[in-house]
Amino acid sequence: MGLLFLVRHATTAASAAGRNLGQRSDAGLTEDGLRLAERLACAIARELLPLPRPALRLVTSPARRCQDTAASIARALDGSSAGVVARVEAGLRELDYGSWDGLTPDECRRRDPELRAAWEADPYTVRAPSGESGADVAARSFPVLTAAEDWARHNDGRVVIVVSHNHVIRIRLAALLGLPLRDYRRRFAVDPGSYSLLMLGTDRLTEGGGATVRRLGALAQDGEC
Protein backbone atom coordinates (compact mmCIF):
# COMPACT_ATOMS: atom_id res chain seq x y z
CA MET A 1 0.00 0.00 0.00
CA GLY A 2 1.34 3.41 -0.98
CA LEU A 3 0.41 7.00 -0.24
CA LEU A 4 -0.96 9.64 -2.60
CA PHE A 5 -0.94 13.37 -1.87
CA LEU A 6 -3.13 15.50 -4.14
CA VAL A 7 -1.94 19.08 -3.60
CA ARG A 8 -3.52 22.26 -4.90
CA HIS A 9 -1.04 25.06 -5.54
CA ALA A 10 -0.91 27.89 -3.01
CA THR A 11 -2.58 31.29 -3.35
CA THR A 12 -2.42 33.47 -6.46
CA ALA A 13 -3.93 36.92 -6.96
CA ALA A 14 -6.71 35.30 -9.02
CA SER A 15 -7.60 32.69 -6.41
CA ALA A 16 -7.59 35.34 -3.68
CA ALA A 17 -10.06 37.41 -5.76
CA GLY A 18 -12.25 34.44 -6.72
CA ARG A 19 -11.34 34.69 -10.41
CA ASN A 20 -10.85 31.84 -12.87
CA LEU A 21 -7.22 31.10 -13.63
CA GLY A 22 -6.82 28.41 -16.23
CA GLN A 23 -4.23 28.19 -19.02
CA ARG A 24 -4.45 31.64 -20.59
CA SER A 25 -1.92 33.22 -18.21
CA ASP A 26 0.83 31.91 -15.95
CA ALA A 27 0.65 33.79 -12.68
CA GLY A 28 2.98 33.02 -9.82
CA LEU A 29 2.18 32.89 -6.12
CA THR A 30 1.47 35.97 -4.03
CA GLU A 31 3.61 36.75 -0.99
CA ASP A 32 0.94 35.13 1.16
CA GLY A 33 0.94 32.20 -1.27
CA LEU A 34 4.67 31.70 -0.91
CA ARG A 35 4.32 31.59 2.88
CA LEU A 36 1.40 29.19 2.58
CA ALA A 37 3.47 26.94 0.31
CA GLU A 38 6.17 26.76 2.98
CA ARG A 39 3.62 25.79 5.67
CA LEU A 40 2.09 23.23 3.32
CA ALA A 41 5.52 21.73 2.66
CA CYS A 42 6.20 21.43 6.39
CA ALA A 43 2.83 19.71 6.93
CA ILE A 44 3.57 17.14 4.22
CA ALA A 45 7.06 16.53 5.61
CA ARG A 46 5.53 15.81 9.03
CA GLU A 47 3.04 13.38 7.50
CA LEU A 48 6.01 11.40 6.20
CA LEU A 49 8.04 11.36 9.42
CA PRO A 50 6.90 7.80 10.36
CA LEU A 51 8.30 6.51 7.06
CA PRO A 52 12.09 6.05 7.09
CA ARG A 53 13.35 7.61 3.83
CA PRO A 54 10.38 6.62 1.66
CA ALA A 55 10.66 6.07 -2.07
CA LEU A 56 9.08 9.27 -3.31
CA ARG A 57 7.95 10.84 -6.56
CA LEU A 58 6.98 14.50 -6.89
CA VAL A 59 4.95 15.41 -9.97
CA THR A 60 3.71 18.87 -10.94
CA SER A 61 1.70 20.78 -13.50
CA PRO A 62 3.87 23.03 -15.67
CA ALA A 63 2.06 26.13 -14.38
CA ARG A 64 4.37 28.49 -12.51
CA ARG A 65 2.08 28.51 -9.44
CA CYS A 66 2.37 24.72 -9.21
CA GLN A 67 6.10 24.59 -9.83
CA ASP A 68 6.66 27.21 -7.11
CA THR A 69 4.57 25.14 -4.69
CA ALA A 70 6.37 21.93 -5.66
CA ALA A 71 9.74 23.63 -5.11
CA SER A 72 8.77 24.38 -1.49
CA ILE A 73 7.77 20.75 -0.99
CA ALA A 74 11.02 19.48 -2.50
CA ARG A 75 13.06 21.66 -0.14
CA ALA A 76 11.11 20.44 2.90
CA LEU A 77 11.56 16.79 1.92
CA ASP A 78 15.22 16.98 1.03
CA GLY A 79 16.24 15.41 4.35
CA SER A 80 13.66 12.60 4.31
CA SER A 81 14.01 11.34 0.74
CA ALA A 82 17.23 11.79 -1.19
CA GLY A 83 17.21 13.58 -4.53
CA VAL A 84 13.64 14.95 -4.60
CA VAL A 85 13.15 16.49 -8.05
CA ALA A 86 9.75 17.54 -9.36
CA ARG A 87 8.78 16.01 -12.71
CA VAL A 88 6.67 18.30 -14.88
CA GLU A 89 3.63 16.73 -16.57
CA ALA A 90 1.65 18.78 -19.11
CA GLY A 91 -1.43 16.62 -18.57
CA LEU A 92 -1.86 18.10 -15.08
CA ARG A 93 -2.68 21.61 -16.35
CA GLU A 94 -5.81 23.33 -15.05
CA LEU A 95 -9.11 23.37 -16.94
CA ASP A 96 -8.99 25.76 -19.88
CA TYR A 97 -11.73 28.25 -18.98
CA GLY A 98 -11.71 29.73 -22.48
CA SER A 99 -13.66 32.99 -22.58
CA TRP A 100 -14.35 32.71 -18.86
CA ASP A 101 -10.68 32.96 -17.95
CA GLY A 102 -10.11 35.83 -15.54
CA LEU A 103 -13.81 36.20 -14.70
CA THR A 104 -15.65 35.65 -11.44
CA PRO A 105 -18.58 33.20 -11.31
CA ASP A 106 -21.06 36.11 -11.32
CA GLU A 107 -19.38 37.63 -14.36
CA CYS A 108 -19.61 34.27 -16.15
CA ARG A 109 -23.32 34.04 -15.34
CA ARG A 110 -23.98 37.52 -16.70
CA ARG A 111 -21.96 36.86 -19.85
CA ASP A 112 -23.37 33.39 -20.69
CA PRO A 113 -26.37 32.70 -18.42
CA GLU A 114 -27.65 29.56 -20.17
CA LEU A 115 -24.26 28.00 -20.79
CA ARG A 116 -23.09 28.78 -17.28
CA ALA A 117 -26.21 27.17 -15.79
CA ALA A 118 -25.63 24.05 -17.89
CA TRP A 119 -21.95 23.96 -16.91
CA GLU A 120 -22.72 24.32 -13.21
CA ALA A 121 -25.21 21.44 -13.49
CA ASP A 122 -22.72 19.18 -15.30
CA PRO A 123 -19.18 20.58 -15.58
CA TYR A 124 -17.88 17.17 -16.57
CA THR A 125 -19.55 17.07 -20.00
CA VAL A 126 -20.28 20.77 -20.69
CA ARG A 127 -17.37 22.81 -22.02
CA ALA A 128 -16.49 26.35 -21.05
CA PRO A 129 -16.83 28.68 -24.09
CA SER A 130 -13.79 28.08 -26.34
CA GLY A 131 -12.39 25.99 -23.50
CA GLU A 132 -12.57 22.57 -21.88
CA SER A 133 -14.95 20.33 -19.96
CA GLY A 134 -14.10 18.19 -16.98
CA ALA A 135 -14.01 15.20 -19.33
CA ASP A 136 -11.28 16.92 -21.34
CA VAL A 137 -9.29 17.44 -18.13
CA ALA A 138 -9.74 13.79 -17.18
CA ALA A 139 -8.67 12.56 -20.62
CA ARG A 140 -5.24 14.19 -20.30
CA SER A 141 -4.69 14.03 -16.52
CA PHE A 142 -5.87 10.52 -15.68
CA PRO A 143 -3.10 8.69 -17.61
CA VAL A 144 -0.50 10.72 -15.67
CA LEU A 145 -2.23 10.14 -12.35
CA THR A 146 -2.88 6.43 -12.95
CA ALA A 147 0.79 5.80 -13.78
CA ALA A 148 1.93 7.60 -10.63
CA GLU A 149 -0.63 5.83 -8.45
CA ASP A 150 0.21 2.40 -9.87
CA TRP A 151 3.87 2.95 -9.05
CA ALA A 152 2.93 3.75 -5.44
CA ARG A 153 0.14 1.28 -4.77
CA HIS A 154 2.06 -1.97 -5.27
CA ASN A 155 4.83 -1.36 -2.72
CA ASP A 156 4.64 -0.31 0.93
CA GLY A 157 6.53 2.86 1.69
CA ARG A 158 6.12 4.46 -1.74
CA VAL A 159 4.77 8.00 -1.83
CA VAL A 160 3.62 10.09 -4.77
CA ILE A 161 2.92 13.81 -4.38
CA VAL A 162 0.98 15.48 -7.19
CA VAL A 163 0.86 19.29 -7.31
CA SER A 164 -1.92 20.43 -9.57
CA HIS A 165 -5.13 22.45 -9.79
CA ASN A 166 -8.68 22.75 -8.51
CA HIS A 167 -10.49 20.85 -11.28
CA VAL A 168 -7.81 18.19 -11.76
CA ILE A 169 -7.83 17.28 -8.08
CA ARG A 170 -11.60 17.26 -7.59
CA ILE A 171 -12.23 15.14 -10.67
CA ARG A 172 -9.60 12.63 -9.54
CA LEU A 173 -11.04 12.46 -6.04
CA ALA A 174 -14.47 11.69 -7.49
CA ALA A 175 -13.00 8.91 -9.64
CA LEU A 176 -10.94 7.37 -6.82
CA LEU A 177 -13.93 7.35 -4.48
CA GLY A 178 -16.37 6.02 -7.06
CA LEU A 179 -18.61 9.11 -7.18
CA PRO A 180 -20.40 10.44 -10.30
CA LEU A 181 -17.88 12.56 -12.16
CA ARG A 182 -20.48 15.18 -13.07
CA ASP A 183 -20.76 15.94 -9.33
CA TYR A 184 -17.08 16.71 -8.74
CA ARG A 185 -17.63 20.44 -8.14
CA ARG A 186 -20.59 19.81 -5.87
CA ARG A 187 -19.00 17.08 -3.75
CA PHE A 188 -15.49 18.47 -3.18
CA ALA A 189 -13.88 21.77 -2.23
CA VAL A 190 -10.09 22.11 -2.20
CA ASP A 191 -8.64 25.44 -1.13
CA PRO A 192 -5.37 26.86 -2.44
CA GLY A 193 -2.48 25.32 -0.52
CA SER A 194 -4.53 22.33 0.67
CA TYR A 195 -3.73 18.65 0.34
CA SER A 196 -5.67 15.41 0.33
CA LEU A 197 -3.94 12.24 1.50
CA LEU A 198 -5.09 8.81 0.36
CA MET A 199 -3.84 5.30 0.99
CA LEU A 200 -3.72 3.32 -2.24
CA GLY A 201 -4.67 -0.33 -2.02
CA THR A 202 -4.16 -2.98 -4.67
CA ASP A 203 -7.86 -3.72 -5.09
CA ARG A 204 -9.42 -2.09 -8.12
CA LEU A 205 -12.92 -1.48 -6.85
CA THR A 206 -13.32 1.92 -8.46
CA GLU A 207 -12.33 3.52 -11.72
CA GLY A 208 -9.07 4.82 -10.27
CA GLY A 209 -8.34 1.80 -8.05
CA GLY A 210 -8.91 1.21 -4.34
CA ALA A 211 -8.29 4.25 -2.14
CA THR A 212 -8.85 5.13 1.52
CA VAL A 213 -9.05 8.80 2.54
CA ARG A 214 -6.87 9.95 5.44
CA ARG A 215 -7.07 13.72 4.81
CA LEU A 216 -9.40 15.66 2.54
CA GLY A 217 -8.59 19.28 1.70
CA ALA A 218 -6.32 19.69 4.73
CA LEU A 219 -4.79 23.12 5.29
CA ALA A 220 -1.55 23.81 7.12
CA GLN A 221 -1.89 26.23 10.03
CA ASP A 222 0.28 29.14 11.14
CA GLY A 223 3.27 27.90 13.07
CA GLU A 224 3.39 24.58 11.22
CA CYS A 225 7.16 24.89 10.84
More confident site: 5 or 156 = 5
Q: Any idea which fold 2-219 has?
A: Rossmann fold (3.40.50)
Active site residues: 9, 94
The reported pTM is 0.93
What are the sequence ranges of the domains in the chain? 2-219
What is the structure's pLDDT at 145? 97
- pLDDT tens by residue, 110-142: 999 999 999 999 999 999 999 999 999 999 999
85-106 CB burial, b ≥16 within 10 A, e <16: ebeebebbbbbbbbebbebeee
156-189 tens-digit pLDDT: 789 999 999 999 999 999 999 999 999 999 999 9
Left if phi > 0, otherwise alpha if psi is -120 to 50, otherwise beta: which for 127? beta
